[in-house]
Amino acid sequence: MTAVASKGQQIAARDAGGNIAALSTIVAFTQDESTQEALTRLAEKGLMPHASVVPGGLSTAVTTGMPDCTVLLVDISDSPDPVADIHHLSGLGAAQIVATGPVNDVTLYRALLDAGASDYVVVPVVPEELARALTVKRREERSDAVAETTMATAVIGARGGVGATTIAVSIAWLLAHEYKQRTALLDLDLQFGTCALALDLLPGRGLREVLESPDRIDSMFVSSAMVNESDTLFVLGGEEPLEEALYLNPNGIGILFAAIQPDFTNIVVDLPRTMVTGQRSLLESMTSILIVSDLSLSGMRDTVRLKALAQESAPDVALEVIVAEGQNRRNTISKADFERGIEGKIAHIVPFDARTADEAASNGRAVPESGGSRRPLVKSLRQITGRVALEGKPKARRKWFGK
């Protein structure tokens, strides 16, 4: 198998797991051309059955009544009250309802999900995004499915320079080398990201293209964008020119994530805080979210805001706040005040350990590889990894009896 399963392999794998696509009959109430084209393209590629397209939208579906199908796709643009209409339809039958529509708005998305839709895709649709929406299960089933297969952790620094990348790289390295599990490290800071640099790798080319034009995602494309540190650790990042503006497709990260997920036991995402907005489906796909802050007032404020956003976007995902101690001598508030401010506990405190961090940086190695296991920072990073790892204990390193 290539580093990343092709879309076809991915959906076939899901079918074997009993997912909806295997036996689905799809009825689509839509006038939207991009949706109709995507449905035709996906059916022609054999990725899903041909949909029966009914001219109209959600309002038509409400008047017609729930058709006999397993997946109902409805375009909400003709409905004066899409949330109420979805709620009405979902009360009529057991079909999975996927909504499409022109409005890209998180509040609407959440309301539609709460009303009973399993997903909402913004038009014009990207075929792969539609395929993902038509094959995922309802929200509560989905988080179980993710938990069984792939560990996915997003690390978000509440402020700059708090050590978020160090934590993300170290978790990925430990899972790959000590747990011996196939791990992808996804660096979403396309211009300033340092995940590859921290491992002394040149970032691959192509992540930007993948995120700008997710309809081009296929196995070759993604695997050529990945660089492997070893047999078990793969890094996806970029070093895009600063003078160029990036036009990332809002659905791109979610599609990429869905594409690589079947091929990895763990995915660690270094997620810049400036990119968190609009990444609702990515956050929902995580098994844990780590917010890293220093003990500063600004760190506390932004931890509160990120925590609220994460809890709103992904209420079922474990969320932990990690405090990096003493960095830049910015312990301006006490831990007790910090916990009061964030209305929650600090899950873990990372000690300030400049010697170990600096050595790792100058060696171009992950901190746990470069520093000895007695170093405070290495111990701390192992504990964090233990918190997010889904299963398995670190496998003992093979002893080397040299001649």
Ligand X SMILES: Nc1ncnc2c1ncn2[C@@H]1O[C@H](COP(=O)(O)OP(=O)(O)OP(=O)(O)O)[C@@H](O)[C@H]1O
What beta strand segments (E) does 40-82 contain?
52-54, 71-75
What beta strand segments (E) does 136-236 contain?
151-157, 183-187, 226-228, 233-236
Q: How many Å apart are CA 349 and CA 353, to the nearest integer?
A: 12
227: CB partners within 8 A, 6+ apart: 196, 201, 202, 203, 204, 234, 235, 236
Q: How many Å apart are CA 37 and CA 27, to the nearest integer?
A: 14
CB closer to ligand X, 20 vs 367: 367
Q: Which two tokens stand for residue 392?
A: 């398995």
165 binds Mg ion (CB under 5 A): yes
CA atoms within 13 A on the CB side of 284: 24
Q: Is 232 helix (H, G, I), strand (E, B) or coil?
A: coil
383 binds ligand X (CB under 6 A): no
* Number of Cβ within a 10 Å radius of residue 396: 8
Q: Is 79 helix (H, G, I), strand (E, B) or coil?
A: coil
Q: How many Å apart are CA 48 and CA 53, to the nearest integer?
A: 14
Q: Is 221 helix (H, G, I), strand (E, B) or coil?
A: helix
Least Å distance, CB 252 to Mg ion, is: 20
298 binds ligand X (CB under 6 A): no
Could you tell which of ligand X, Mg ion, none binds residue 357, using a CB distance below 5 to 8 A set by kind?
ligand X
353 binds ligand X (CB under 6 A): yes
CB closer to ligand X, 185 vs 324: 324
161 binds ligand X (CB under 6 A): yes
304 binds ligand X (CB under 6 A): no
163 binds ligand X (CB under 6 A): yes
Per-residue string for binding with ligand X, 306-345, x by CB under 6 A? Answer: ------------------x--x------------------
Contacts with Mg ion: how many residues (CB under 5 A)? 2
Q: Of the candidates 4, 48, 350, 390, which one interacts with ligand X according to CB under 6 A?
A: 350
166 binds Mg ion (CB under 5 A): no
162 binds ligand X (CB under 6 A): yes
CB closer to ligand X, 99 vs 377: 377
Q: Which two tokens stand for residue 105?
A: 């708005």
Q: How many Å apart are CA 14 and CA 20, to the nearest integer?
A: 9
CB closer to ligand X, 101 vs 193: 193
269 binds ligand X (CB under 6 A): no
* Number of Cβ within a 10 Å radius of residue 272: 18
**Residues 196-235 close enough to bind ligand X by CB under 6 A:** none
187 binds ligand X (CB under 6 A): no
314: CB partners within 8 A, 6+ apart: 280, 283, 284, 286, 289
157 binds ligand X (CB under 6 A): yes
**Residues 356-375 close enough to bind ligand X by CB under 6 A:** 357, 361
CB closer to Mg ion, 135 vs 165: 165
By CB under 6 A, name the binding residues for ligand X.
157, 160-166, 194, 324, 327, 350, 352-354, 357, 361, 377
By CB under 5 A, name the binding residues for Mg ion.
164-165
